[in-house]
């Protein structure tokens, strides 16, 4: 389970970097939502019965990175539409 979480997190971060590079809001939003889901999953379950401060902190960081990029991308998209 730990390897799967790290693999999916890496793929979502890769998609996020690609979205930032090509300025594609859709890919960025999907990858940000994926990071938020992974963060909540880590917070809820921990890492395969390893539920300590490290796993809780990592879950919070992953969730916050996803929420940050989703919020910033949404604000930029609104600015393009109405600005």
Domain boundaries, the chain: 10-77
At 65 the pLDDT is 95
**In Å, how far from its chain's centre is CA 48?**
20
Give the pLDDT mean for 61-72: 95
The DSSP letter of residue 24 is: -
Q: What does the pLDDT look like over 3-42, one tens digit per residue?
A: 888 899 999 999 999 999 998 899 999 999 999 999 998 8
Cα–Cα distance between 44 and 83 in angstroms, integer?
40
- Dihedral of alpha carbons 36, 16, 57, 48, sign: positive
pLDDT band at 69; cut points 50, 70, 90: very high
The DSSP letter of residue 50 is: B
């Amino acid at each position: 389970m730990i390897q799967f979480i790290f693999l999916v997190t890496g793929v979502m971060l890769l998609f996020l970097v690609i979205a930032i590079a090509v300025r594609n809001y859709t890919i960025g939003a999907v990858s940000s939502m994926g990071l938020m889901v992974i963060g909540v999953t880590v917070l809820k379950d921990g890492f395969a019965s390893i539920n300590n401060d490290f796993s809780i902190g990592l879950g919070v960081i992953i969730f916050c990175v996803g929420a940050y990029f989703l919020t910033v991308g949404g604000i930029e998209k609104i600015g393009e539409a109405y600005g």
